[in-house]
Amino acid sequence: MAESPAHKFGQIIGGLLESVIQPPLAQFCERQSLYLDHQSKKRPVRRGRKVSWEDPYGNMHDLDFVIEREGSDHKLGQPVAFIEVAWRRYTKHSRNKVQEIQGAILPLAERYKWNNPFLGVVLAGVFTSGSLEQLRSLGFQVLYFPYETFIAAFAAEGIDIQFDESTADEEFRSVTNVITSASDRVAQRIKEHLVLSNAVLITDFFAALDARLGRLIRRVLIIPLYGRINEFISIASAVEFLDTHPIYEGSGEFRKYEILVEFSNGDKVDAFFSSKQKVREFLNFIETQ
């Protein structure tokens, strides 16, 4: 089936958005000694162009940008940031795209929860306030380029991209040809216009990224847990047990260690292990993050 001109136009705008956010991401990673992976990078350690990661259920998810610690062209590192980029022109499509992003990133965040990864989305076009708040409520940092800033950036170069659902395919095809045939200098000016008109939003996004990935360990709590399992069939019986239960160190059989690591930016990671060796492995892992 032939690709519709409107879809092709959307792909071009989405690619432009990626090219706007990629340079500052690369600069950030260079400063922090992190590795930035993206689809336009040739990386021998993975197959093909796709940046794919597997969730706890064996499903693969293709992402736009992944930041890793200890990663290189020839070695997969530990993922510490998952960032998706998306353009949508109509509000009726925004909720579906938000759910698609959630479905890809949240299972990965679950698998790599010890890394406490940064979850980011870079959106442009028309997204409802409800869809944006939905992402924020789930822990995503949202960088949203309003539709009007794209119109203004292209208009400054004499290109009109104000379309709606009644726009004919020929108009989409015509403006797509204008954009793809534009000089590198014109394309660069469009991107610079977008960066300047959204400078505060971009700064906030990278401040949040730095706060997450630039964190320091503040303290580590290790809590040995002891005790027999006591089962009751009523609240009254449970309360009666609490009233008479003696509390002292090492009471009953050893159960497990609870580990809580607190970071300078307010992040917390906790885990439970039944052996000292597993605790050591966990702490050694946290130290490298």
Predicted pLDDT at 1: 45
Q: Is 213 exposed, middle or buried (0-12, 13-18, 19+ CB in 10 A)?
A: buried
DSSP annotation string for 120-184: EEEEEE---HHHHHHHHHTT-EEEEEEHHHHHHHHHTTT------TT--HHHHHHHHHHHHHS-H
* Tokens representing residue 45 in the block: 């350690």
pLDDT at 58 (0 to 100): 94
- Contact at 8 Å (CB) between 53 and 79? yes
Contacts of 214 (CB under 8 A, 6+ apart): 32, 265
Report pTM.
Answer: 0.77
Q: Which residues contact 171 (CB under 8 A, 6 or more apart)?
A: 163
Show the 3-state SS of 79-132: EEEEEEEEEECCHHHHHHHHHHHHHHHHHHHHHCHHHCCEEEEEEEECCCHHHH
Q: What are the per-10-residue average pLDDT scores of the chain (289 residues)?
A: 72 91 94 91 87 94 94 93 90 82 95 90 91 93 94 92 80 87 93 95 94 78 79 79 71 79 77 82 74
So what's the pLDDT on residue 7? 80
Q: Which two tokens stand for residue 196?
A: 């300047």
pLDDT score for 172: 81
Domains, the chain: 5-213 (3.40.1350.10), 217-287 (no CATH)
Please check whether residue 56 is in contact with residue 92, taking contact to mean a CB–CB distance below 8 angstroms.
no
